[in-house]
Amino acid sequence: MTRMTFGPVFTEEGILFRLWAPLHESVSLKIDGAGLRPMRAGEDGWHRCTVEDARPGTRYRFALPDGLEIPDPASRFQPLDVHGPSEVVDLSSYHWKAGDWTGRPWEEMVIYEMHIGGFTPEGSFRAAIERLDHLQELGITALQIMPLSEFPGRYSWGYDGVLPYAPDSSYGRPEDFLALVDAAHERGISVFLDVVYNHFGPDGNYIPSYAPLFTDHHKTPWGHGVNYDGDGSEAIREFIIENAIYWITEFRLDGFRFDAVHAIKDDSDEHLLQALARRVRAAAGNRHVHLIVENEENDADLLQRDDKGEARLFTAQWNDDVHHVLHVAATDETFGYYADYAGDVGKLGRALAEGFVFQGEHMPYRGGRRGRPSGHLPPTAFVSFIQNHDQIGNRALGDRVLASSPVDAVKAVISIYLLAPEIPMLFMGEEWCAREPFPFFCDFDEDLNEKVRQGRRQELSRLPGFDADDLLDPTAPSTFAAAKLDWSKRTTSDMLDYYRTLLDLRHRRIVPLLKGAVGGGAVYRSAGNAIAVDWTLAENRRLHLRANLGNAAAPLLEPRQDDTETIFRLGGSGGGGLGPWTVIWSISAG
């Protein structure tokens, strides 16, 4: 904690409390059970006060001149939610069991996206620990946890957090999150955290009342942009960058998924994203730390590699393009943005071979150009999936449509994305074909709740097929309760063994080919519903995919070579062609 600019600090004289409030000449500290204490104001906008008898567990707030009492923006724990007092926490006393953990190389990653509240019936950090053995046996090597920053109310997706240093109290204490990370590391599982640096939630964000958090120079879907480049931006930038460093150093996380980086607006000489990646990597030292972006613009420049093939800034990006083509193939849904991926399985070939489908071409749904060339990047610069929180939750009913799709089609798309050289990501429960929905949910006061209902209705009404008239009430307790996984159904699933088999094959045969693999070594071809993709990977080995994503027979595209070893086959072939929903993976010497 002494390395951090924000939040309480343990000193020999007691605990130093700090608040950067340049909009006020005076601020007071209020310790629960005691009166107001004036804080020393500095010319730099900082207000400081050392309390000799404060200790871990002490609850406190800051009082502004108008009487408004606020939590610490760098609060480490909010036991009574976003409007309550902050609590002093000492994480240094935690005894790490996996103290020698340094992480895992990126090419070994099989990611599992999870929401702590929905992952188990209890919805807590401690309860999640009890399910880690299942994930280890499945072949998962990384958790990706949806945002934890303290949010208002009893439940939330987490993207409306307002106190980014405090794990939400509904999931347990910070020490419980430490225990979850430690338990994952004991099992060889990395832990990534989804963080939101493009906006703050609408309830409980007091920072604008005492500091220049926002700027009208930039606009985002949530209103004014965060002030990363205007007057006072140096402290705002430091607040965010140190937040990422805090998670990496104090909680020993293995990386992040950065939400909607295209909405982080910054005209500084060094964009926040560049500074953030640079300093997080420096803080991690020799540990494996991986940085993943969500980027609607498909900006391949963020994924550049150095001369050794290592990521300069960000390790990988969520690749929606792979999802969209596989989703269309398995479900026949062609409404909304899916229409831009329908009727051309060659787009899947391009996404697997080159990363993005749209690399500067016009995308009809967006009404403009999208993306930049990405074929020069290695396949591991992309994270592929057939489910995630967005693609499920941004449906009126939050339904997992793949769970009710034809089994042959589902198995085919699973075998493609789990064995492709891109990094695969599962969404919680997918491995046993869970049918529980994952609709959007949140819990504000009634005024904000009604605004959320109206906003979601308007948003979904723009998507043909996502009928806003069927929209679940995102603020109802029943909507959140419906999203919780039913673990009893895991034991009756035929799909679980299929996932285990594929992931075992991936770890044995695909992962060894990924270290040192470079971009520009893949080609693809398509004819009707048939695709062929060939990658040149490590040690000049060639990985081959031949697939038919349709209900009718399709051509093989070219004859099989004698030196090719088939490592996986689903479906049938004959007469020089591929049967319906056939997938064949093979390896050759190159």
CB proximity list for 335: less than 8 A, separation 6 or greater? 463, 464, 465, 466
Tokens 């994930």 label which residue? 135
Side chain identity, residue 567: I
- Contact indicator for 580, 550 with CB cutoff of 8 Å: yes
Is there a catalytic annotation at residue 344? no
- DSSP labels for 182-245? HHHHHTT-EEEEEE--S---SSS--GGGTS--EEEEEEETTEEEE-SSSTTHHHHHHHHHHHHH
Starting at the edge strand found earlier in the chain, the sheet holding 542-548 runs 522-527, 530-536, 542-548, 582-588, 565-570
The strand pair at 142-145 and 111-114 is best described as parallel
From the list 12, 156, 178, 217, the residue with the least C-alpha distance to 89 is 178
**What tokens were used for 19?**
């608040």
The strand pair at 382-384 and 423-427 is best described as parallel
The count of C-alpha atoms lying within 13 angstroms of the C-alpha of 408, restricted to the half-sphere facing its C-beta, is: 14
- Helices (DSSP H) in 332-437: which residue ranges? 346-354, 389-393, 407-419
Of the residues 108, 294, 354, 430, which is catalytic?
Answer: 294
CA–CA distance, 210 with 122 (Å, rounded to integer): 37
CA–CA distance, 134 with 125 (Å, rounded to integer): 16
Is there a catalytic annotation at residue 259? yes
**What tokens were used for 486?**
């039913």
CA–CA distance, 150 with 186 (Å, rounded to integer): 27
CB proximity list for 515: less than 8 A, separation 6 or greater? 105, 107, 538
Of the residues 108, 259, 321, 534, which is catalytic?
Answer: 259
From the list 1, 8, 4, the residue with the least C-alpha distance to 31 is 8
CA–CA distance, 195 with 5 (Å, rounded to integer): 19
Residues belonging to the active site: 259, 294
